[in-house]
Amino acid sequence: MTFLRKKRVFALLLIFFVLVLFMNSAYIGRKLYPIYFKQEIRQSAAKHHIDPFLIAAIIRVETNYKHHLESKKGALGLMQLMPETAEWIAESTNLSSDEAKDLLQVDVNINLGSWYLSWLQKHYNGNLIYAIAAYNAGQGNVNKWKQNNIWDGTEANISQIPFGETRHYVQRVLYYYDKYTNLYADQWDGNRITINKEALD
């Protein structure tokens, strides 16, 4: 086979490979943006009436599915819960305080984190973006921004969030939330709880 003919064959194979990639873009996307611990996420999402893709997005940003992590501040597990937050959640639910202490256990961590996300969303009257910001910066800060008209809780005005870390956090969670929704919505078993991102008072 001549060198020129080899180049032509290689070019044809390359074109074929690119076409296959485009035809299977959702497949490639799922490889690039996988969701792990699907069963635990599904169960907690159904239990606490929250979109499973929101849970997955929070996990992706918090720990990228590394369930054994502990932050410098002491937050634990997949959804990076502080032990005192977990104890408060346990007191607010029927979960035992002993079980709440095992925050490195995948199902316990996702269950507690999902309950907290659901609670935050209700606290902010359905505004998902306020809830995501509060998950990172704390309710006290977000309540202050809301009450003092510093930030209106809309995606368009995320730049008004005073904390740079929280601005970046909210943007990243929304990015992965949209990615997961676009890539997995047609595959997800069961009924999803769809969310209006900017439901207001």
Return the active site residues.
Answer: 62
Q: Are 129 and 197 in contact (CB under 8 A)?
A: yes
Q: SS3 of 191, please?
A: coil
In this structure, the dihedral spanned by the alpha carbons of residues 177, 182, 186 and 192, taken in order and rounded to 10 degrees, is 30
Q: CA 179, CA 184: separation in Å to the nearest integer?
A: 8
Note the helical H segments in 105-184: 106-123, 128-137, 139-147, 164-184
Interacting residues of 122 by C-beta distance below 8 A, sequence separation 6+: none
Q: Are 184 and 35 in contact (CB under 8 A)?
A: yes
How many other CB atoms sit within 10 Å of the CB of residue 35? Answer: 22
Buried b or exposed e, range 59-95, using 16+ CB within 10 angstroms: bbbbbeeebeeeeeeebbbbbbbeeebbbebbeeeeb
Residue 94 gets which letter from DSSP? S
